[in-house]
Structure 1
Amino acid sequence: MAKFGKKYQDAAKLIEDKFYDAAEAVDLVKKTATAKFDETIEAAIHLGVDPKYADQQVRGALVLPHGTGKAKRVLVFAKGDKVKEAEDAGADFVGSDEFVTKIQGGWFDFDVTVATPDMMGVVGRLGKLLGPRGLMPNPKLGTVTMNLTKAVNEIKAGKIEYRTDKAGNIHVPIGKASFDNAKLLENLQILLDTLVKVKPAAVKGQYMKSVTIAATMGPGIHINPLIKTSKAE
């Protein structure tokens, strides 16, 4: 049985065994973030889907209006005029074969990979290395595109990817404990609204089964999944 430290136990005492509305949960999760660093606030959503079926998988990307509080390092595979476009947009690394060699050598000092369509032949050689880490560019996520300015700007502004795991759960960051309540609440609202919009047509019954938020070192706080999130005053 897992043993928790005193800070965790003290935080857990603040939480009642009930469903909170979103505004209450956000206020409470900030109180449970007592670590010496700025803890990430993460949302965990359990969906009533069966991901083993292709028509019930939920995957995509969205831009959180207030970002995640973490600066993402972007690697762009491009050539010609697109190199300067990526650099001007703020990409951290831009290139081609030289980065294939670095990655094959064990370099992974980046968080997101973007590529122009004509570079996917080069990037494809890294599939077994990037794929398991969730770093492979994907046109459905907007990371295979000729519009590098838009792609890099969105990532830097707080674009996140979401994807159901084998159990139908989605785990994504919605900000930092230092964010004010309104920003965390709005980020959560956008996430939940997006997941509702992409509900697979094949899913029957209750779609959003549970919603939980927690700080990095804190306990989970359950939000009533049947109540629409309301904006903070």
Structure 2
Amino acid sequence: MLKAVCLREIRLAARRPADALSGLVFFVMVGSLFPLALGPDSALLRQIAPGVMWVAALLAVLLGQHRLFESDWADGSLEQWVLAQAALPLLVGIKVAAQWLIAVLPLLIAAPLLGWQYGMDNASIAVLLAALALGTPSLSLLAALGAALTLGLRGQLLLTLVVLPLSIPILIFGSHAVTQAQLGLAAEPALSLLGACLCLALLVTPWAIAQALRLALE
């Protein structure tokens, strides 16, 4: 069952590559527009780079997440998940992990290119990649929770209102880690806090998503 869920997500992404890559395109576009608008001031670009990159990553993760469970809800797959022998939180976790690999992992590949565009050094880019690797799974889990809570409702505004307040600590810790690296200070405390947020999200959100999906089916 777990393997079938993962393979299904990969096949759906292969059939609709535009949907799978829309987050990457949005991330690159947002990250590239700021240097064009602000000009060639390298000091200013390095100063705003952490905040811009993390806000762009959050919006890229949220893009299209309101449709995460809609196809499963429409074709009856969610009912099969509830009746399956595998635990529903585990199935939810597999689906979110597959979505992260398909839609969010390419952001980490594009992040160094944007970092060089902002004049970041290699050490700061390495910290940025580590922070994104720790923070974006938490953002994906929170977005999936918002998608489950708003399942069946029209529009993405409610999903954004649910996810944004919960995402603020991750944005703060992620931006702070990169800023510390740019200043030549230790980024490990902020990275440790991002890891703690990820552990908390892994422990709590799959069960919360499962309960929200059960409520949507009633």
Instruction: Specify the TM-score bucket, using the shorter chain as the normaliser.
Output: under 0.3
**Rg larger in 1 or in 2?**
1
TM-score, structure 1 length as denominator? 0.24
TM-score, structure 2 length as denominator? 0.25
Q: Which structure is higher in RCO with an 8 Å CA cutoff and minimum separation 6?
A: 1
